[in-house]
Chain A
C-alpha cells in the first residue's frame, strides 16, 4: 500500500477564513479522493481529484467552497473556503493504485472552526 501524508494534521481557524490541506503520496497513484468526516458521522466523499483537469464533485459539494488541485500523480490539495463552524470536521485524502480496487487513507486533518 502507498504511504500517505497530510498537512496540517490539525488546525483551529476563524470563521470566514480559508485553509488549504495538502496530501502527498510516496508513489504515483491513479486516483485520489477527498472525504469529510463530521463529528459522530461517517465518511462522506467530497470529490475525486483528477490530475490535469477539474475535480469531480459529489452532490452537495461545490468547487467554490472546496477547490481542489492535483498538479501531478503524487500530490493534491483541498481548500476549505470561507469557513463556518459547520465545516469543523476531519478531512481525509485517499488513494487508489492501478493494481488494486482498494482505497488507502491518509491520517486526516482535524479542522476546528471557531
Chain B
C-alpha cells in the first residue's frame, strides 16, 4: 500500500516558468511533510518542509502548500531554472515517529 503517491513520474517546464510538483497521501496520521531533491549519484537534498498546522511555507523560490482535507501537498518552484532539473521526492512522517515514508518521485526537467 503506497501511503505517499506522486502520480506524475515526470514534468517538463520551460526556464523562468513555474514548476508545480504534486503529492498525495492516504494516512491521516501524517503531520510533517518534506520535499527532497535528488541528482544522479547523490543523496537526497532537503529542500523545504511543512507541519500540518500550516497550509503554506515559503523559502526563496520554493513554496510548499498543504491541503489537509484533500490529503494533498504541492511544491511550487518559481522561477524554474535549469539547475532545478532533478528528481523530487515528497516524504511524510506521523506524529511521534521519525520514520519517513517517501513517494516514488517526479523527474523535473527545466529546459531553456
- Which A residues fall within an 8 A CB radius of B? 1, 4, 31, 33, 41-45, 48, 58, 92, 96, 101-108, 110
Instruction: Tell which of A33, A43, A44, A92 has the most Cβ of chain B within 10 Å.
Output: A43
- Which B residues fall within an 8 A CB radius of A? 32, 34, 36, 41-46, 49, 89, 91, 93, 98-100, 102-105
Return A104 CB to nearest CB of chain B, in Å: 6
A62 to B104, CA, bound (A): 24
A104 to B43, CA, bound (A): 9
The A interface is mostly helix, strand or loop, or mixed, namely strand
Given A43-B89, A58-B99, 5 more pairs with CB closer than 8 A: A31-B98, A41-B104, A43-B100, A103-B98, A108-B42
Please provide the 8 A-B residue pairs with the shortest distance between their CB atoms, ordered closest to farther: A105-B43, A43-B102, A42-B102, A42-B104, A107-B43, A105-B44, A108-B43, A106-B43
Known: A1-B46, A108-B43. A42 touches B98 (CB 8 A): no
Return A44 CB to nearest CB of chain B, in Å: 8
Specify which chain A residues have a CB less than 8 angstroms from the CB of B93 in the assembled complex.
Answer: 101
A110 touches B102 (CB 8 A): no
Known: A33-B98, A42-B105. A102 touches B44 (CB 8 A): no
Specify which chain B residues have a CB less than 8 angstroms from the CB of A44 in the assembled complex.
Answer: 102
For this complex, 30 residue pairs linking A to B, each with C-beta atoms less than 8 Å apart, are A1-B46, A31-B98, A42-B89, A42-B102, A42-B105, A43-B89, A43-B102, A44-B102, A45-B99, A48-B99, A58-B99, A92-B43, A101-B32, A101-B49, A101-B93, A102-B34, A102-B46, A103-B34, A103-B46, A103-B98, A104-B46, A105-B43, A105-B44, A105-B45, A105-B46, A106-B43, A107-B41, A107-B42, A108-B41, A108-B43
